[in-house]
Amino acid sequence: GRFVLHRIQKEEAEYKLCRIQKVYVTAKKVPVAVTHDGRTLRYPDPDVKVNDTVKVSIATGKMSDIFSFEMGAMVMVTKGHNAGRVGQLVHLEKHDGSFSIVTVKDKKGNSFATRQSNVFVIGKGDHPQVTLPKGRGIKKTILQERAEAEARGDL
């Protein structure tokens, strides 16, 4: 896969990005947002919607920034055949009762489609909030991978 471990700075280790799964009001009238990793954020910003990403401080558990799920947002694919790819959100096809499909375009201009549930917003425009690994989330063709291996002397 294209998910790889890489070193991060101390500043980056103090927060994490969380995708909002559900937003609702409890029985005692407390607004709540539930994240992809099971965190419950009480009294979230009223602008937070499902599929948005929030920056959560690990020390306090409080959210600071909101990254909206909108066209032009920088996203990373977390599941499926395209896992690990990074690009800009180009198009959203809503299919009620089925899976909504999003189209993502990477820096090289390649477009690909995946389910909306597989996509995670990591920043606005060209500015990711997390450091990206060596490949920057760009998928290479088999021929490109082979040429690089030959240049390194692996083949």
Query: In angstroms, rounded to a whole number, what is the distance separating the alpha carbons of residues 80 and 145?
Result: 21
pLDDT at 1: 44
| Residue 82: pLDDT over 90 | no
The whole-chain average pLDDT of the chain stands at 88
- What's the predicted TM-score (pTM) here? 0.80
- The pair of structure tokens assigned to 132 is 């990206």
Region 14-26: what's the mean pLDDT?
94
> Are the C-beta atoms of 30 and 44 separated by less than 8 Å?
no
